[in-house]
Structure 1
């Protein structure tokens, strides 16, 4: 569970070997990756914190209730020709997010849809919601949206910011139940813009054959990420008794392999739901379940970086970035025309 220096060295060597012996790529595919920093993935290692106490073990009986009822089940999303890759996007039922979902379908996710808005390719997208607390009009609106686009799933839980960890647990549970053959799940927030082609190409470089259970994204800047007790990201000591988390990946976008998704879905009922989504899904649960954490700096970050611009996104230096709603269409237009968009990505914290 705890990765020592020898283990990290072995994993890094294996990763390099897999990368060197990957299948032959066309010049176009190689060019797509050429602006990314190398190595294309690194193994996360702890800096002094050992997530190896009794807490980091599954409980013998169920202690967390993970809803499995879906008022809008989205069963058609993975029917027929099963997708290999599934983009999951947590969303909420308000007018702003409705407009943003339309924009996402028409911009970075547009190649995943046919002209009739159906998804039949090996990569697809689904938006997730909780139903508790929704007004009748809002639920009917989601049903109408589902009928048109076929990319909506609604589960029976209270959809609040504090319940984001539960939302991802329900999402993984849905994937395990209705998309059991998916090989890769890519989580993206509503305010995240994904370079889909580059993301898919980068994910193919991961050493799935040697590390089938993995998470992958941008590593949190802190070597000792704190467990806060106050504020929006507060975690009760009764739920998580440590002052710091295992090192984890930032939440705007991250990758989870199919085997890791299914293992987590089986395990969530037997572990406390820690209300800090990215720390819980990409740090705590991987520590509990011995899931390998890989990272690369090309994923979206909420931290301000003065040299991170939308132009560099267009130039295939990032697989994802945070984006202001009104800039999403402009960034997509820049992608289509391959023209630089000289805007510094603002601070989202």
Structure 2
């Protein structure tokens, strides 16, 4: 019976794809259809969830995406306008349909005119064919997804990040600066455009929650969230390079292709924040890690309180949210 239901869902989605030209179907109905199908499918596909807890499935000395094509590539995201103020690349999980829906409301708003924002959601692969069909339909509707040929797991986030650098280098050279975020991050673009104007004219700049060299301990415990084997960074107790907390990072556009080129000569390291914003910048002369630590919140309650009380006048540039909490979601994303 489960197989029959999944075939029916897949058939329904393929029918929707073939009728995409029907402009009478509103964006709201499409989103609701996708969200309804998501809830049903995720509940019925528990067996596939083991893929998300496995370590890297393909062993490689360098990020997989350097030599792989894209499974899904929406090349036109940045071509629709001559200049983009900020291109936001979002690390998102396959089944986070509603999070992406809420983020689109923020990024595609005309409220920030004359500034223009575009978003690209970065994804890996799934073994669940029904979920993959849903991702392809979402891409067809919104045209803002890029999917690579690597399994979408926590230990493959470095591949996802390098894919983002590669994609912007190839397809989004008309952006003035770049933001990299996770899909549970609130971005206060009013304050960003007001306080980070300098990044448009800066070169080799990373603006973020700065982590100084030799201050962040390397976790060696086998059960630690960011466990690092003793053979990596041997005899070191702390990460040796300045880096960033990767949940919200602003990057000068000139630095993107340089970081991508640095990945070509930087062996894979699974802790993506340190690889992307520590190891790669260390190979480029003159990179500046500009700290905005007091204007970024790593606590979802602090983010919620600030936005609830002050709205877009909140002094935070970005902050972690609790996107699956309905009360928080309404106040922040609504």
> In 2, distance between residues paired with 1:134 and 1:85?
33
Decide whether aligned partners of structure 1 residues 278 and 65 sit closer, same or farther in structure 2, where only a CA change above 3 A counts: closer
Summarize the alignment of residues 168-317 of structure 1 with structure 2, pairs less than 5 Å apart. Answer: 168-206=161-199, 209=201, 211-220=202-211, 224-230=215-221, 231-241=224-234, 242-245=236-239, 246-290=241-285, 291-296=287-292, 297-302=294-299, 309-310=306-307, 311=309, 314-317=312-315
Q: How many aligned residue pairs are there?
A: 260
**Contact 1:172-1:261 at 8 Å conserved across structures:** yes
**Contact 1:299-1:319 at 8 Å conserved across structures:** yes
**Contact 2:91-2:182 at 8 Å conserved across structures:** yes
Instruction: Report how far residue 63 of structure 1 moved.
Output: 4.5
> In 2, distance between residues paired with 1:304 and 1:272?
37
Unaligned runs of 5+ in 2: 1-59
> In 1, distance between residues paired with 2:232 and 2:167?
24
1:148 to 129, 134, 141: 141
Decide whether aligned partners of structure 1 residues 273 and 202 sit closer, same or farther in structure 2, where only a CA change above 3 A counts: farther
Please give the TM-score of this superposition, normalised by the length of structure 2.
0.70
The structure richer in helix per residue is 2
> In 1, distance between residues paired with 2:190 and 2:119?
14
Instruction: Report how far residue 313 of structure 1 moved.
Output: 5.8
Unaligned runs of 5+ in 1: 1-61, 114-119, 334-349
Instruction: Report how far residue 110 of structure 1 moved.
Output: 4.0
**Contact 2:108-2:118 at 8 Å conserved across structures:** no
1:20-51 residue CA offsets vs partner (Å, 9 max, x unmatched): xxxxxxxxxxxxxxxxxxxxxxxxxxxxxxxx
Instruction: Report how far residue 198 of structure 1 moved.
Output: 1.5
**Contact 1:63-1:270 at 8 Å conserved across structures:** no
Instruction: Report how far residue 81 of structure 1 moved.
Output: 2.0
Larger RCO: 1 or 2 (CA < 8 Å, sep 6+): 1
Decide whether aligned partners of structure 1 residues 261 and 302 sit closer, same or farther in structure 2, where only a CA change above 3 A counts: farther
**Contact 1:313-1:319 at 8 Å conserved across structures:** no
> In 2, distance between residues paired with 1:100 and 1:80?
24
Show the counterpart of 1:9: none
Instruction: Report how far residue 273 of structure 1 moved.
Output: 2.3
> In 1, distance between residues paired with 2:230 and 2:311?
39
> In 2, distance between residues paired with 1:298 and 1:149?
31
SS in 1 for 2:216: coil
> In 2, distance between residues paired with 1:307 and 1:103?
15
Please give the TM-score of this superposition, normalised by the length of structure 1.
0.67
